[in-house]
Structure formats: C-alpha cells, structure tokens
Amino acid sequence: MKTLNKVIATMCASVLAAGTVVAGGHGSVADFYKGKTVELYIGYNPGGGYDTYARLVARHIGKHIPGNPGVVAKNMPGAGSVKLANWLWEAAPKDGTVFGAISRGAPFEPLLGNDTGEIQSQ
C-alpha cells in the first residue's frame, strides 16, 4: 500500500506540474483541462503490476486535476517501458494531455548502453 501511495503521488505531481506549465497562457489549469480527455500510457502489457497501478490511478486522478478531465488508460508495451519513455520524450503531445507510467529503471537504460526502445524515424 505504501508503494501504491508513492506511485499515485508521483503521477499526480507530474500531471499537475505539466498542467501548470501548459496553462500559463490559457487562463487557468481548470479552464485548460475542463472537458478534455487525458491519456495515461502504460509501458507494459495489460494485467501486470504497473498496469494495475496505472489503471487505478487513471480511475481516480481526474478528480484531483483542476477541471476534472476524463482519463483514459492505454498500453504501449515494449523494451521494459523504454519504448514508451522514448515516445513520451520524442513524439507525444507536449500539451499536458498525455503522461505515462514507466519502469522506475527506464530512465537509466540509455546510461547502461541499452538502446532497445529506440524509435525509428521514417
């Protein structure tokens, strides 16, 4: 339960921080998120531990974001969530409507020389 609380607190802080930056030019955070749908991407297949935690967060986090947006959970498995981490960094919308649940070790994979989740340019 202690771990779940940390996961939820971290995800809430991430979404609120992103919303604060985004809403800078839009009046208020509540105005920005009102009526929108936020996507929570999960870096693993359905049914595992990260998936369970992230879906629990998705079910409740909308009530804690100003403007109460809807939250939809989506899976993007691959390379131990490194694929998702790369997609969030390189291709995901940077408007505060997308965030992800990745492995806590995923940010260290490039430092260890593991490039398994690299996005291929077309």
Check residue 108 and give its pLDDT.
80
Check residue 115 and give its pLDDT.
63
Structural element, H or E, at residue 40:
strand 37-42
What span, in angstroms and rounded, lies between the C-alpha atoms of 80 and 77?
Answer: 7
The pLDDT of 108-121, averaged and rounded, is: 65
Handedness of CA 7, 13, 17, 22 (dihedral sign): positive
Task: Give the number of C-alpha atoms closer than 13 A to the C-alpha of residue 98, restricted to the C-beta side.
Answer: 16
Contact 101, 57 (CB under 8 A): yes
What does the pLDDT look like over 29-57, one tens digit per residue?
999 999 999 999 999 999 999 999 999 99
Per-residue pLDDT for 69 more than 50? Answer: yes
Check residue 17 and give its pLDDT.
55
Domain parsing of the chain, residue ranges: 2-104
Task: Compute the mean pLDDT over every residue in the chain, rounded to the nearest whole number.
Answer: 81
User: At a CB cut-off of 8 Å and minimum separation 6, what does 121 contact?
Assistant: none
Check residue 104 and give its pLDDT.
87
Check residue 79 and give its pLDDT.
86
